[in-house]
Chain A
Amino acid sequence: MELYQKLNSLIESNPNIKELGLIVSTKKFDGEEEKPFLMVENNLAVSFRFIPAIYRYCFETLNKLLISIGDDFRNYDGSSSNSQSQSTTINLSDDTILELNHLSRAILFVNAENITALNVRKKLLCLSNYTTAEQEIKLLNLVFTKHPKSGEAWCHRRWVLNHAPHAFNLELELVVCKRVGEIYPRNYYAWTHRWWALNRPNQLTCQNLIEDLNRVEKWVERNVSDHSAYHHRYLILVQLFKDHVVFGWTLNQVYEIWTNEMRFTDKYIHLYPAHESLWCHKRALYLYWNKEIIITVTTSDDICNIMKRSSQIEYCNQIIQDKDTSYYDDQVRFTNVYLKWINSSSSSDSSSSNFLNK
């Protein structure tokens, strides 16, 4: 109880907390006696051994409060916030709203997967103006610094942005995806969210796609083994092809960006041998090109030569001959897997499928 109040006053008096963390002991930081909380330059640290008590207090208090409020609030689904029946039955005092807000917030700091606490916050957003969607997004940014892999928190974020479309800002979403990806690399949730954000109404523009392609290029340069990032690039490239007419692009522009991507991948395979992600990306580019794009190519388009099967086989042979490369065995293994895929795409040869067992 006392700890919970202390936590609340810390949060309220420091509206710009940047990061949330658990620490084994506060002693290490200031040498003084063990304290439950520590603020260092806008970072809030909570001492590990106080966590169960705070969490338990908050969750049990929240449950008592929910029971006293009654089933109408428990069962409320947000859909009819304007209808007569709902607004008359669910009548929360300002104190109750504040309490629900603070309790659920403290719970999420410890466990962002607590869907009941997340749902309380959804209901509050529907029923009251205690907080805005923008503030909720800000809170989630803070929660992600401690819980970057919380699927439920990402899900809550999408709900907030669906509920209050005006709070959506592509730039902010891309920034949070990047930051969370830095905390927990190869983060499936963050990359899925990134594509979701680009697919929001009116966001799938040529400019947004190209800008993001450039941003992710910088990311890939520092995170060569992040397959999710290549997949994201692939999605952008496919979109640029599918919508090229809408975007006012010529097919040659499409070919150029696709072949550049293949060259970029080839270069990186040389620079950073034996990264499966790069080989998978190469495979995605090759397979999509030869399934969907090739039918638009006329024979005189030299620009597309790199995407031909013969060019790819030649590239693979160079790799296999480059015996001085580091991680040579793994590099050759991935090269052979790639060759199998590109061969299987032209003939469905399933008899050789057992190659990985060798």
Chain B
Amino acid sequence: MSDNSNSNNNNSIDHTKNVLVEKHISYVVNLDNKKEEDFEYWVTEHLRMNGMYWGLTSLYILKALDKMDRDVIINWVLSCQKSNGGFSGNVSHDEHLLSTLSAVQILMQLDALDRLDQDLVAKYVLSLQQEDGSFFGDKWGEVDTRFTYCAVSCLSLMGKLDLLDNNRIEKIADFINRCKNFDAGYGCIPGAESHAGQTFTCVGALAIINRLDLIDRDQLGWWLCERQLPNGGLNGRPEKTSDVCYSWWVVSALSVIDRLHWIDNEKLRNYILKCQDNETGGIADKPGNVPDVFHTFFGLCGFSLMSYFDMEEIDPTYALGTKTLLKYNIKLPWNKKL
């Protein structure tokens, strides 16, 4: 895609007040043209599955999913599946739960879940569950609440959550609960400091297994509110600087526990707007920085969750379009509009 002639004219749009829809679309569509001579290409190459998910979902939010070559992507995703059912971050990498969830999300988004041997994927996910209710990220045994989220989300998206009996669900809930701190936030393992990113994964996992009752909504709401800084942006822990990615982690968690109105939505919107790159399109972590697909996705999610700019609605738990999820008959009890 080359629309340089257009983009020059578009620089007249004030990006601190408007969302640069066309530029973001072309930014995401052109991501795949990174060159193999570039440093950037090689240090992100192992993350391509996640990157593809972030890019596609950005386009979904921008109502431009049709700009991507569906068949090429589906075939590439499927080529990353290993014999044990797990997916890798790129063709020549090892499988991991993080990339497995992204693969399932991509296929769902492209309405191609039927191309997948879902039983095999479920078997892989279940093989990583531990006695104490935690999940390994891959066969090498690291434990993290992020992996718990990936596991339950993956199973639920494939309609296979019932493969976990009540006893196992109970253990999962128990493990997450052990990662809760006095401030009602969550860490990556028991004892670890509360972190907004980990908090999202725990809240999301509890929502999926229908155990939101374990969350102290008011206290957690407070802690999440304290993440908003005077500049409107959000941080992930006390005295860290603001970063656009928390427009997803914090805002989604607040949405699930129905406390989104506790932060100043307008100030956050203005902060995200300032992080847009008026030349290249895309959104950066902080105003003036170089954009990337990760922050572009999370910034757009922020707009969507706060219902700004007529974006396509994204679900705060599954991080997929609400319409996509409804098509697959997935229940979204936290969504008050339904």
Chain A residues packing against B (C-beta within 8 Å): 48, 51-52, 55-56, 59, 63, 66, 71, 74-75, 77-79, 110-111, 113-116, 119, 122, 155, 158-159, 162, 186, 188, 191-192, 195-196, 199, 225-228, 231, 235, 275-277, 280, 283-284, 287-288, 291, 337, 340-341, 344, 348, 350, 353-354, 356-357
Contacts and interface: CB of A to CB of B under 8 A. Distances in A.
Contact of B182 (A66, A284, A356): A284
Nearest to B239: A225
Contacts of B189: 192, 196
B299 interface: no
Interface of B: 36-39, 41-43, 45-47, 82-84, 88-89, 92-94, 96, 137-142, 182-183, 187-189, 191-193, 195, 218-219, 221-222, 225-226, 228, 237-240, 262-264
A84 B224 CA distance: 53
Q: Secondary structure of the B side of the interface?
A: loop
Nearest to B84: A75
Most chain A beta-carbon neighbours within 10 Å: one of B36, B93, B221, B238: B238
Given A159-B142, A196-B189, A287 B46 contact: no
Contact of B193 (A77, A191, A337): A191
Given A52-B36, A56-B42, A114-B93, 18 more contacts: A113-B47, A114-B46, A115-B96, A116-B46, A158-B142, A188-B237, A192-B188, A199-B191, A227-B237, A235-B191, A276-B226, A280-B183, A284-B183, A340-B222, A350-B218, A357-B262, A357-B263, A357-B264
A356 B226 contact: yes
22 contacts: A51-B42, A52-B37, A55-B42, A63-B92, A66-B92, A71-B83, A74-B94, A110-B43, A114-B46, A115-B89, A116-B92, A122-B140, A155-B137, A155-B142, A159-B141, A191-B193, A195-B191, A227-B238, A277-B238, A337-B226, A357-B262, A357-B264
Nearest to A276: B238
A288 to B, nearest CB: 6
B183 A119 contact: no
B193 A192 contact: yes
A47 to B, nearest CB: 12
A287 B182 contact: yes
A188 B240 CA distance: 11
B182 A277 contact: no
B36 A231 contact: no
B140 A119 contact: yes
Most chain A beta-carbon neighbours within 10 Å: one of B42, B82, B195, B218: B42
Contacts of A74: 94
B46 A115 contact: yes
A322 to B, nearest CB: 21
Most chain B beta-carbon neighbours within 10 Å: one of A115, A231, A341, A353: A115
Given A56-B42, A277-B238, A119 B195 contact: no
A115 B94 contact: yes
A61 B283 CA distance: 35
A283 B138 CA distance: 37
Nearest to B139: A77
Nearest to A348: B218
Given A158-B142, A159-B142, A162-B141, A75 B83 contact: yes
Contacts of A78: 139-140
Contacts of B36: 52, 56
A46 to B, nearest CB: 11
Contacts of A356: 222, 225-226, 228, 262-263
A344 to B, nearest CB: 7
Contact of A59 (B42, B140, B182, B192): B42
A116 B142 contact: no
Given A116-B46, A192-B192, A356-B228, A283 B183 contact: yes
Given A116-B93, A192-B192, A277 B239 contact: yes
Nearest to B141: A159
Contacts of A354: 262
B221 A353 contact: yes
A113 B192 contact: no
A240 to B, nearest CB: 14
Nearest to A285: B182
Contacts of A284: 182-183
Contact of B239 (A66, A113, A227): A227
B46 A113 contact: yes
Contacts of A116: 46, 88, 92-94
A351 to B, nearest CB: 10
Nearest to B240: A186
Nearest to A330: B230
Most chain B beta-carbon neighbours within 10 Å: one of A55, A56, A122, A280: A280
Nearest to A286: B182
B105 to A, nearest CB: 19
A51 B225 contact: no
A191 B82 CA distance: 34
A240 B228 CA distance: 34
Nearest to A353: B218
Contacts of B226: 276, 337, 356
B4 to A, nearest CB: 26
A190 B7 CA distance: 43
B193 A231 contact: yes
Contacts of A275: 239
B83 A344 contact: no
Nearest to A234: B182
B262 A353 contact: yes
A329 B222 CA distance: 20
Nearest to A122: B140
Most chain A beta-carbon neighbours within 10 Å: one of B82, B89, B93, B228: B93
Nearest to A239: B191
A52 B140 contact: no
B84 A51 contact: no
Most chain B beta-carbon neighbours within 10 Å: one of A75, A196, A337, A340: A75
Contacts of A111: 42-43, 46
A341 B141 CA distance: 38
B258 to A, nearest CB: 12
A158 B142 CA distance: 8
A52 B41 contact: yes
A276 B229 CA distance: 11
A51 B226 CA distance: 41
A22 B201 CA distance: 34
